[in-house]
Amino acid sequence: MRPKKRMLVVAVGAGALALAGSAAFTNALSFSNTNTTVAYGQENVSGATVTTITYGLSSDGTTINSVTFVASGDTSGSVADVGFTTSGGNQPTSACAAGTYDGVANATTYVCSGLTQSVSAITATDIVVH
């Protein structure tokens, strides 16, 4: 794998955006992702509508070191955490940096770094905005 391809950017497709719109009133969203490179089955989101997720991988591509996600609207006053579900169950979550609101895009970006989750064990990415 070439170094440039070790950073994986996952843009949620049109189907997920449709689900996001329908989940806006429930304040929770669960959507499937067809990208098997990171070896997870789905993302589970509560407290926000997430439109994109970016995974930062280790140099050998076996570990997720960071997760960056974009939530619709201004959620910058909220706190975000990210974690993973593995075959062993829910793993502890890690706090993300404060969200940065972009008024033009009407979206808030969160960066969650310092992660050390093995890619092969993941069945879901769990995001909580509260």
pLDDT at 38: 56
Largest CA distance in the chain: 42
Sign of the torsion formed by the C-alpha atoms of 103, 109, 110 and 113 = negative
The domain ranges of the chain are 3-129
Q: Which amino acid is at 95?
A: A
pTM to 2 decimal places? 0.72
Tell me the per-residue pLDDT of 5-54, one tens digit each, with 9 for 90 and over: 333 333 333 333 333 333 333 334 434 444 434 545 678 889 999 988 88
